[in-house]
Structure 1
């Protein structure tokens, strides 16, 4: 009888997850001032929209939301029809992850036609805006870091079986540290930003080389000047 890995056991109690990010050729997802990164082409935007159309929920960090002010909307008629055919609402639930709960209520995000949820701490509920239709509270595993294992377990209980994670690097790092990422879609764009403080797809403290997370390349495709990489995160 084959023994299950920790990830395989864990996946029974949480949604499937996929990180979807565009980065420069030198591995940056924004410039050194952390301005909203808009270097992806229309091809990349269509790719992102397609991936978003396949999920039940979208996780995004508070810093990413503040930088862009908006989220990704499924607009393509064929993608909308596919969601309807699969008995899904027109838009996935958008879940902002913020331990502090400090989200300005004047962001254009709140006027977009998506369900707006907040994932925060008990302390964060004192700061959150009333514009969120649902607020979920979870304990911190350390200062500023939500217990995402418990959070994703709760999302699975609420009927979400597939999540997209669209940034930023701190959220991706927290998910990796808690063994919560199954796949990555990375678009490599033909730009160089540089800067030692410019954010990358995985932020946080980082991992020792002896504990690097191993990946399996599932596909590689070039479309015009961009490279689309699809990885599986290998079980531990």
Structure 2
């Protein structure tokens, strides 16, 4: 893992495992306590990464607003805000959304083709381009590039396709999942892990590190068991 950052997924989901409703509404359903938890986890990261789908829905970065957390980062020699990375293979992103006016450092992670429209545009401070032979983002190379730029802790804020892509490459180390007391349902509603899914034999295994309950929400902290640690499913 020395050639890539420590990666932590941070997501809130409904009790039936949905991270948004079927129309992908940008409205957050977590409590103020969950928002505080998210901000604390983001403050502990050097950078956060968001997939293009989630980025298009929200249109803004997850900024730290708590002055104590910003002061803590400055004491640690870090900028007040972590780097905000958008992952988009196509690079097809709206240039007129509030994200591009926020006082943050913005990076784009894309393919060579997706990088072309942004080469002479001031929207992103850095453009990282990498590609597999099939034309998708090369995640191993991408995380190595990110590490080479000084990012040691990377927070992953969704969505489900981004998480699925990283899981498929065994590139996620930890997860923080907040279970919120509502039921969203809907076969089209996104989940923490979308994509094509895993079989029960190949499904990534988790080790539970911590459980916290605040009012009606449950905060679960997991560690991913590395593939070499995995054994056959227990009976």
| Preserved contact between residue 100 and residue 127 of structure 1 (Cα < 8 Å) | no
Write out the 4+ residue segments of structure 1 that deviate beyond 2 Å after TM superposition: 126-130, 140-143
In structure 2, do the counterparts of structure 1 residues 95 and 141 end up closer, same or farther at CA, with 3 Å as the change threshold?
farther
Q: Which residue of 2 aligns with 1:25?
A: 15
TM-score, normalising length: structure 2: 0.93
Please report how far the alpha carbon of residue 142 of structure 1 lies from its aligned counterpart in structure 2 after TM superposition: 3.3
Q: Which residue of 2 aligns with 1:135?
A: 127
SS of the equivalent of 1:211 reads: coil
Aligned with residue 49 of structure 1, among 14, 39, 57: 39
Please report how far the alpha carbon of residue 131 of structure 1 lies from its aligned counterpart in structure 2 after TM superposition: 0.9
Please report how far the alpha carbon of residue 78 of structure 1 lies from its aligned counterpart in structure 2 after TM superposition: 1.3
Please report how far the alpha carbon of residue 141 of structure 1 lies from its aligned counterpart in structure 2 after TM superposition: 5.2
Alignment of 1:222 onto 2:229: no
In structure 2, do the counterparts of structure 1 residues 47 and 113 end up closer, same or farther at CA, with 3 Å as the change threshold?
same
SS of the equivalent of 1:213 reads: coil
| Preserved contact between residue 29 and residue 37 of structure 1 (Cα < 8 Å) | no
Q: Identify unmatched segments of 5+ residues in structure 2.
A: 228-235
Q: Which residue of 1 aligns with 2:146?
A: 155
Give the Cα–Cα distance (whole angstroms) in 1 for the partners of residues 204 and 218 of structure 2. Answer: 21
Give the Cα–Cα distance (whole angstroms) in 2 for the partners of residues 67 and 140 of structure 1. Answer: 27
Alignment of 1:78 onto 2:65: no
Alignment of 1:105 onto 2:95: yes
TM-score, normalising length: structure 1: 0.93
Give the root-mean-square deviation of aligned CA atoms: 1.1
Aligned with residue 210 of structure 1, among 201, 205, 210: 201
Q: Which residue of 2 aligns with 1:34?
A: 24
Q: Which residue of 1 aligns with 2:188?
A: 197
Aligned length: 225
SS of the equivalent of 1:126 reads: helix
Aligned with residue 78 of structure 2, among 81, 85, 88: 88
In structure 2, do the counterparts of structure 1 residues 95 and 212 end up closer, same or farther at CA, with 3 Å as the change threshold?
same
Please report how far the alpha carbon of residue 130 of structure 1 lies from its aligned counterpart in structure 2 after TM superposition: 3.5
Q: Identify unmatched segments of 5+ residues in structure 1.
A: 1-10
Deviation by residue 1:28-62 (Cα, 9 ceiling, x = unmatched): 01111122241011100010000000111101011
